[in-house]
Chains A and B, each alone.
Chain A
Amino acid sequence: QVQLAESGGGVVQPGRSLRLSCAASASTFSGYALHWVRQAPGKGLEWVAVVSYDGGNKYYADSVKGRFTISRDNSKNTLYLQMNSLRAEDTAVYYCARDATYSSTWYYYFYGMDVWGQGTTVTVSS
């Protein structure tokens, strides 16, 4: 059973940086693309970024492009989100999620996000 566990959230001042981590419990982590999704207080889900199964391709929402960087270390079964120049509007619960589409078929199919972590809370406030 693949499980995901986020960490690294906290309270940070505007303009500062924070790095989130997402650890997987099984070796199947390496065969799948991985996403970050967030939910601001009282709002809906917002997709943030995705990294391909091999780490070679990364895509971002316009709201975070140029400020956030997604990466992964397949040897450690860990996903990261480096968040720079944080703003109040980045305040949210951040979830990592596995794309259900395996390996290179991810480029051609979309089978949804089938495994999610419980989330870590980021608060940007002075």
Chain B
Amino acid sequence: EIVLTQSPATLSLSPGERATLSCRASQSVGNYLAWYQHKPGQAPRLLIYDVSYRATGIPARFSGSGSGTDFTLTISSLETEDFAVYYCQQRSDRLTYSFGQGTKLEIK
């Protein structure tokens, strides 16, 4: 089973600042890496797929990068609506999936 470890657990920043969220896999996941935003009481929202491709309607301030086992989600300039929990997700070659434990992005 591939384990995804996200860091930090909590990130405290102010609007306008740059956010950098990390996701590390216990073994290579190739390009099978996605990022989601999740707010309380709402459905999760797909942000990034295939490591670096923005999903439909996602603002350009969100970007993804990385390869193999180390991945990063960057939000270039935080808006107030960006404060939420963020999850990375992988798909294995055996067609099973897992999420990281999440990073809570909170207003400083």
Contacts and interface: CB of A to CB of B under 8 A. Distances in A.
A50 B99 CA distance: 14
A118 B99 CA distance: 19
Interface stretch (A11-19, A56-64, A84-92): A56-64
A95 interface: yes
Contacts of B49: 100, 110-112
B43 A47 contact: no
Interface in B65-105: 85, 87, 89, 91, 94-102
A61 B102 contact: no
B2 to A, nearest CB: 11
Contacts, number: 72
Nearest to A109: B50
Interface residues of A, number: 26
A46 interface: yes
Given A100-B46, A110-B49, A46 B99 contact: yes
Interface residues of B, number: 30
A35 B101 contact: no
Contacts of A112: 34, 36, 46, 48-50, 55, 89
B46 A45 contact: no
Interface in A1-55: 35, 37, 44-47, 50
B96 A45 contact: no
B34 to A, nearest CB: 4
Contacts of A46: 99
Contacts of A50: 95, 97
B91 A110 contact: yes
Contacts of B38: 45
Contacts of A111: 34, 49-50, 53
29 contacts: A44-B87, A44-B101, A44-B102, A45-B36, A45-B44, A45-B89, A45-B99, A45-B102, A46-B99, A47-B89, A47-B98, A47-B99, A59-B95, A61-B96, A95-B44, A100-B46, A100-B55, A110-B31, A110-B49, A111-B50, A112-B34, A112-B36, A112-B89, A113-B36, A113-B46, A113-B89, A114-B46, A114-B55, A114-B56
Q: Which 4 A-B pairs have the closest CB atoms?
A: A112-B49, A116-B43, A112-B34, A47-B97
